[in-house]
Chain A
Amino acid sequence: MREKYVGKPIPRVDAYEKVTGTAVYVTDMFFPRMLYGAVLRSPHPHAKIKKIDVSKAKALEGVAAVVTSKECPYRQGIYLVDRPIFATDRVRYVGEPVAAVAAESMEIAMKALELIEVEYEPLPAVFDPLEAMKGEVLIHPDLASYERLPIYNIEPEKNVFHHHKTRKGDVEKGFKEADYIIEGEYSLPQIYHAPLEPHGAIAFYDFNGNLTVWSSAQSPYTLRNLIAHAFKMSRHKVRVIAPYVGGGFGGKAGINMEGIVIALAMQVPGRHVKLIYSREEDIMATVVRQGMYAKVKAGVKKDGTLVAWEETMVFDGGAYAEYGTNVVRAAGYTTPGPYYVPNIKVDSYGVYTNHLVGGAFRGFGHGELHWAVERHMDKIAKTLGMDPLELRLKNVLRPGHTNAMGQKMHEHTGNVEACLKKAADLIGYGEKPEQPKDRVKRRGRGIAALVKAPAMPTNAASSVVIKFNEDASVTLQVSIQEIGQGFNTAITQMAADALHISPDKIKVVFPIDTDANPYEWQTVASRALWTVGNALYRAAEDALSQIKNIASQVLGVAPYNLEVEDDRVYIKYDPEVYIPLKDIVMGYTYPDGHAIGGPVIGRGSFVPERLTNLDPETGQGNAAAEWTFGAEAAEVEVDMETGEVKILKLVGVFDAGRVVNPMIAAGQIIGGMVQGMGPALFEQITYTDDGKPISISFTDYKIPTIADMPDEMIADFVETPEATSPFGVRGIAEHPMISVPPAIASAIYDAVGVDINDLPVTPEKILKALKEKHS
């Protein structure tokens, strides 16, 4: 690909809207006679619903509709259809929707909720996934009857919604060859996405049975598909319009709370119903990241060579599986991350509990798996008396190696070694940090690597339509959501290079409208520039060939002797002979009036090439299209009297293939690293002993503020062009969050000599470990 605009730090195309406050989010939309929705939620983590009486609520003046599972008896789910839109016979977590109201004002809607009477019979609840696996309390007694994708392996008697198995080589043989067998246990709690924009949607059902939904959605098409599936509607009757999304981080992928507002709108055809979640509802009743417990056993040679890796991961999936099925699968097939191990046995379980619903969160499965893998690599290094970086460099995946699912690595797969070395240089690895004069405060440095591929179905498709306008400007239609990652800017740069025109002449159609824009699977998995880049390349070739075919007839030369550049199409060997592009793109009209050709519309479709399902018993196969490697490093200062940790410096280096916009890419890395700091040091969903969530506000669920920002943060890249992309690109957006926690934990060990293996690394845990170390 000839590059003129790719690689440049072009300002964002959504900049003016966003800095002036005129960018429109769902919450900013108002319609005439619009009704306001509100939701009644379960106060119990697990209970039978004995009776619901909505008569008093219905009778309240200003109430237009009240809905329960009686009117809306549908379930939803992306891979496993287990989540009722309204709880039916039982509730399974605190916050689960039981009924909803649409009223003339928010105030009336809230009053109506108080008038709904629900009688519950509490059931025994289970909050620990290891306990839940004993099957004494069954959260989904009908699990076996639920519709699901056949690649997911349920174990209904154990509350397991997916058990993923990886069997590579012979792990027992590997342990026999090992000089050391090193075991460890690691865990992390549920955490919350905390997008600044809470979830929201507006629904409108017309008298022809057409449904329109405006949603803060990462995945307009998948949302449409899942709505139509849940409500048993034809796809063409459902229209999703997705304006700007105020942060999603996976929490706004697939389907979420839209079903509730749709059910309300269906009761009041011809009126818009708006439902915007409060912060409390957003935390309790959308999705959170699963908690995880991992047990690792690694076989290692004296020289540090890994020969066997056995691991069990148990995910706290909460009350419904949601994306969890694929979280569990992705963690299962990626472990042990960026390292080559010939013999691997991994069991990854997704388990129902009566906790908040687990779902997709930036780099799903990978933050979890790398916490265990990278902490364990440090433990191995310590046992062997080897430097942790040296151990990693000895074992990284290199060309010719196979990963856990048996895929062969190539030169073009990416270079984790280069990422590690660059990150080590940037953090000053190997040199002792200058220690503060205050002897109570000690500084240390740590490093961790990572790898992640898009975790997606084998046929996750993309498409692009390029429409030329009369003046040879271009309207680009694509259905990836601009969620803050800068997609609309980057794709404009790529389209400019693919079409050989100026980015000023290109507009990306926005907001996304499934009635108008072409199909796109989802805005998830750090796959957009890669997958849409492929579709774009094909669409651009299609458009250029139409232009050249018309020009070829007019100029009397072969299409391959023509070139398009900016505003003209010219003869390559005689560039002064040209036709202005604007005279071609609607068809060419000869001086005598007769015309040829017609409007130029380029079309490009793409599905990943050569992907397969994995063998259900061994997990071997080709489930990942492209891998992004990276390395992250931290310098910290630990106060040994208070246990407090200050992050002084963070470094993130990623093999991006090709960086399309260095300014935006750096923004992704810095932002992702800070999002990784929260779960490293303090973020976690907390509950009362009887399963009620406590951390349901920003006071009780703290996220990093500007005051937590490290003194220094560096984003950097390695560029090994991706062979499966015409632009050489691969994803980097989720990755920066992944290995920040293990890098920080490693730095804490370097500083004060204690290893914390359970996130978050709180001052209490550090003080306790220091006390144990000194006693």
Chain B
Amino acid sequence: MTITLNVNGKNVQVDVQPNETLLDVLRNKLYITGPKEGCGNGECGACTILYNGKVVNSCLVLALEADGAEILTIEGLTKDGRLHPIQEAFIEENAFQCGFCTPGFVISTKALLDRNPNPSNEDIIEALAGNLCRCTGYQTILKAVKRAAEKLGVEK
């Protein structure tokens, strides 16, 4: 069956199987490999994307259900070859090591800052509690989110 997705601002049509997840379609059919599969059960957040503006684990969404959806992945954050302020903040605070969980954290951060431009520590912890990282110990990620909020505040 063919579905239409708007991925990072571009419409694409893609054939999908009834049991295929949105993550599988993004990665294996559209080669959008920023979202990662860390567990396939919605337990780790490595596949986090924005789905009609809402933060979801794309491994838990059936591709068929996503027909017509607007999707933002980490690939859609850079504009004209320039980093998004969240990405800059992650670099400046050294908020990643192996990098495998980073696309998920960056997208979860975007979702948080879109709805809450000045999050408290508790807000950040709540928003990122579904994203696992085994390398950083989270301290620099927390700082990066705050720095990103400051950067975005200045931009506005």
Contact = CB atoms under 8 A, between A and B. Distances in A.
A199 to B, nearest CB: 12
A709 interface: yes
Contacts of B44: 196, 279, 698
Contact of A707 (B17, B36, B37, B125): B125
Interface string A686-704: 0000000000011100011
Contact of B139 (A15, A18, A670): A670
A217 B40 CA distance: 22
A197 interface: yes
Interface in B6-58: 17, 19, 27-28, 31, 33-41, 43-44, 46
A18 B102 contact: yes
Contacts of B4: none
B93 to A, nearest CB: 9
A28 interface: yes
Given A12-B91, A671-B136, A244 B41 contact: no
A651 interface: no
Interface residues of A, number: 57
A254 interface: no
Given A278-B40, A670-B136, A18 B131 contact: no
Interface string B90-110: 111010111111110010000
Interface string A652-696: 000000000001101100111111000000000000000000000
A247 B94 contact: no
Nearest to B91: A15
B75 interface: yes
B111 to A, nearest CB: 15
Given A21-B103, A197-B98, A670-B140, A11 B92 contact: yes
A16 interface: yes
B116 interface: no
B94 A18 contact: no
Given A671-B137, A707-B125, A21 B39 contact: no
B91 A484 contact: no
Contacts of A276: 37
B41 to A, nearest CB: 6
Most B C-beta atoms less than 10 A away, residue of A12, A25, A667: A667
A21 to B, nearest CB: 3
Give the interface size bracket for B toward A.
Answer: 35 or more
A269 to B, nearest CB: 24
A386 interface: no
A664 B135 CA distance: 12
A713 B137 contact: yes
Most A C-beta atoms less than 10 A away, residue of B96, B99, B100, B103: B99
Contacts of B41: 279, 697-699
B73 A706 contact: no
Given A19-B99, A196-B36, 16 more contacts: A16-B83, A20-B34, A21-B35, A21-B74, A25-B100, A196-B132, A197-B36, A198-B38, A249-B134, A667-B94, A673-B137, A675-B137, A699-B43, A705-B138, A707-B125, A713-B139
Interface of A: 11-12, 14-25, 27-28, 30, 107, 193-198, 244-249, 276, 278-279, 483-486, 663-664, 666-667, 670-675, 697-699, 703-707, 709, 713
Interface of B: 17, 19, 27-28, 31, 33-41, 43-44, 46, 73-75, 77-78, 83, 87, 90-92, 94, 96-103, 106, 124-125, 128-142
25 contacts: A11-B92, A11-B94, A18-B99, A18-B102, A19-B90, A19-B99, A19-B102, A20-B74, A20-B78, A22-B34, A28-B27, A194-B132, A246-B100, A246-B101, A247-B100, A279-B38, A279-B43, A664-B94, A670-B137, A670-B140, A674-B137, A704-B137, A705-B132, A706-B128, A707-B125
